[in-house]
Amino acid sequence: MRIGELANATGTTTKTLRFYESAGLMPIPPRTSSGYRDYPSDTVHRIGFIRRGQSAGLTLAQIGEILHNRDGGNAPCAHVQFLLSGRLKELDDQIADLLALRETVQSLHSVSLTVEPAACAPNQVCQYI
Amino acid sequence: MRIGELANATGTTTKTLRFYESAGLMPIPPRTSSGYRDYPSDTVHRIGFIRRGQSAGLTLAQIGEILHNRDGGNAPCAHVQFLLSGRLKELDDQIADLLALRETVQSLHSVSLTVEPAACAPNQVCQYI
DNA sequence: ATCAACGTTCCAGTACGGTGGAAGGTCAAG
DNA sequence: CTTGACCTTCCACCGTACTGGAACGTTGAT
């Protein structure tokens, strides 16, 4: 299948697919006599894996590692477990950070609602930030 | 005060201060006869405001808007309220997204712990992603 | 006079995941 | 034979907030 078909079948764009190739996520596809990329049909699954990995918050670099393991004939299971547990920890940290930030912003916002603009001191930018 | 002093006093770097200037966050400072930037001492407060705004998750562009209001003689209170409430909504969305993602990753990870590598089908990349 | 420590400008690069566009080649239909 | 849709490569750019480094000028102490 040609690159446009693959893009359609996977909900991506030809630009993105070439970018994935340049990023080392795709095996180099064979070419037709005229130089067009000619993908095997199971490439659809590979793209699907890439998109699901992204949905799980993995970076393209991490997804690439998994694919390279797989391409090298190794079952990437252990590595995937490792990446997922790392991701889980990152998520917990990110969520905790955002919750703390939410508290801060919330209290700034509350204060901003009770303050009179006329009370602004001229020598500071904003009395509640 | 010179740029290095200001950087020291605010915990930033001279690079960052020049970058803020180029980004339009700083009023153009006067120069000494030899061309050095010569900041009024209350610039410290302005940098402090910028850093606190960043801590609240505002972008430099948003902080710039507030500063421009202030520099233009307007009390930026209403605008700050607007930005803070927008930020609050964004935070809620981000937190909700991350919590949902955490659920997804958590369940993928749980499955990954119970699966036997030998069960991997050769025609797919990974059976649990 | 010399030296370090400061200052200046300007250009380029970082990470991330692409997107835009130019300049050209190919293919199938009408 | 032409048209339009597809494909190719390559280079540049998006946003965000800086950071690094080159090449050169200034200041203050010794």
pLDDT value of residue A127:
61
Q: Would you call A76 and B128 a contact, using CB atoms and an 8 Å cutoff?
A: no
pLDDT value of residue B78:
82
Average pLDDT over residues B48-53: 93
Q: What is the DSSP letter of A104?
A: H
pLDDT in tens, B102-122: 888 898 888 888 877 666 666
pLDDT in tens, B18-30: 999 999 999 999 9
pLDDT confidence band for B125 (50 / 70 / 90):
low
B51 sits within 7 Å of strand C by its CB: no
User: If DSSP states are collapsed to H, E and C, what string results for chain B?
Assistant: CCHHHHHHHHCCCHHHHHHHHHCCCCCCCCECCCCCECCCCCHHHHHHHHHHHHHCCCCHHHHHHHHHHHHCCCCCHHHHHHHHHHHHHHHHHHHHHHHHHHHHHHHHHHHHHHCCHHHCCCCCCCCCC
Average pLDDT over residues B5-34: 96
Average pLDDT over residues A1-16: 96
Average pLDDT over residues B82-95: 90
pLDDT in tens, A44-76: 999 999 999 998 888 999 999 989 988 887 776
Distance in Å from D24's C1' to B73's CA comes to 40
Spatial CA neighbour of B25 closest among B2, B47, B54, B52: B47
pLDDT of A25 strictly over 80: yes
pLDDT in tens, A77-108: 788 888 889 899 989 988 998 998 899 889 88
pLDDT value of residue A125:
64
Type of residue numbered A58: L
pLDDT of B123 strictly over 70: no
pLDDT value of residue B24:
93
A25: helix, strand or coil:
coil
The distance of B87 to chain A (nearest Cα, Å) reads: 8
Q: How far is CA A12 from the centre of its chain?
A: 14
Nearest residue to nucleotide D19, by CA–C1' distance, is B15
Lowest mean pLDDT among A3-7, A74-78, B44-48: A74-78
B18 sits within 7 Å of strand C by its CB: yes
pLDDT value of residue B101:
87
Q: Does B111 touch chain A (CB under 8 A)?
A: no
| Residues in contact with B114: Cβ distance below 8 Å, sequence separation at least 6, in sequence order | none
pTM of the model: 0.81
Q: Would you call A109 and B84 a contact, using CB atoms and an 8 Å cutoff?
A: yes
pLDDT value of residue B79:
84
Q: Round to whole Å and give the CA distance between B47 and A6.
A: 51
If one compares A46 and B74, the residue with the highest pLDDT of the two is A46
- Through-space distance between the first and last CA atoms of chain A, rounded to whole angstroms: 57
